[in-house]
Amino acid sequence: MIAKDYLYQHNEHFNLESGSALPGFQLKYTTLGKLNSEQSNVVWVCHALTGDSSFNNWWGDLFTEEGPFSHREYFIVCANVLGGCYGSTGPLSVNPQTSEPYYHDFPIITNHDIVKAFDFLRVHLGIKQVHTLIGASLGGQQVLTWAIYKPEIFEHIILIACNAKHSPWGIAINEAQRMAIAADSSWESKEPSAGLDGLKAARAMSMPTFRSFEAFESQSDTENQKLERYNAASYQRYQGEKLANRFNAFSYWVLTKTMDNHNVGREFDNIREALNSIQSKALVIGIDSDLLFPVAEQEFIYENIQNAQFEIIQSKYGHDAFLIEINKLKSIIQFFIKSKFVLQNE
């Protein structure tokens, strides 16, 4: 079975949490499988910071016949976020009010804005219930936000390596990356390539937060006499080039700010109250070596959702383990789904 790509066009004025607005927007989304007659088999995937709607490219093993969400049994949906650069409305999109790309004028986007757009798509698709909503990192922040925004929609949520409010540590890391982009002399220009050298530096800066000390040992040099051109240095340059070849500095700027302003307690008295409003059965997964989203952040989420299960992935790969340790992730999710199924039928 082949995944299919679509475009959803929202032609009405779209108010944003910042008080600004978009005159409309589009979302590129990808689906796999078929919706059953009871609409009880929807799995909605939220991607990470520089991801796209093609979930098969980065989490494909979760949706094979051997995975927890076989495409023969489930209808899987994933949409590219507002502010992104893979088909959804973002900074390089043309503003219909000016007939020019937004570039630096693209407004501040929050996770609440993103999931509100997703919810318009859900209604457009005629989906009344979602069996499982799953995401990691920025995508996990969106899962949490959406489960609070529309608590009656989701039967299960799976939150991986994310938080309820972005930390000062995470904000500082993102601000340093944006400073690298702003230091690029091309950043002020209104061109799709603006800030690309800065983006390369930003990505290199972020890599040590995505991986662990132990993971970087794979970049060790065996030549004792070497004084420069270390493997770790080459690896950083490679990662910067790799991202610059597929992303743009404008979307990176916008979406790191989205991560920074993440706070599910904004419309509540406090964050605990917001988490307590979740009605879904929740699986919260942390990664023991994660520097960017420490396990304590997932523990806090778990402790404040009424019906939750908590698991920790043991890995040397740091935050990126949610993309690398697929077999461990599959095993944890399969146990969660099966155990909840048994409980519902006892």
Side chain identity, residue 271: I
Question: At residue 120, does pLDDT exceed 50?
Answer: yes
Map residue 17 onto helix, strand or coil: coil
Cα distance between residue 240 and residue 201, in whole Å: 6
Mean pLDDT, range 266-292, rounded to an integer: 97
For residue range 48-97, what is the model confidence (pLDDT) as tens digits?
A: 999 999 999 999 999 999 999 999 999 999 999 999 999 999 999 999 99
Active-site residues, by number, are: 137, 290, 319
Average pLDDT, the chain: 95
> Which position has the token pair 């040397």?
316
pLDDT of residue 340: 53
- Is the confidence at residue 341, as pLDDT, over 60? no
Average pLDDT for residues 109-126, to the nearest whole number?
Answer: 98
Q: Which two tokens stand for residue 185?
A: 């002399």
Give the predicted TM-score (pTM) of the model.
0.95
Domains in the chain, ordered, with CATH? 4-167+262-345 (3.40.50.1820), 170-258 (1.10.1740.110)
> What string of H, E and C letters represents the secondary structure of 183-249?
CCCCCCCCCCCCCHHHHHHHHHHHHHHHCCCCHHHHHCCCCCCCCCCCHHHHHHHHHHHHHHCCCCH
Task: List CB contacts of 224: < 8 A, sequence separation 6 or more.
Answer: none
pLDDT digits (tens, 9 = 90+) for 233-264: 999 999 999 999 999 999 999 999 999 999 99
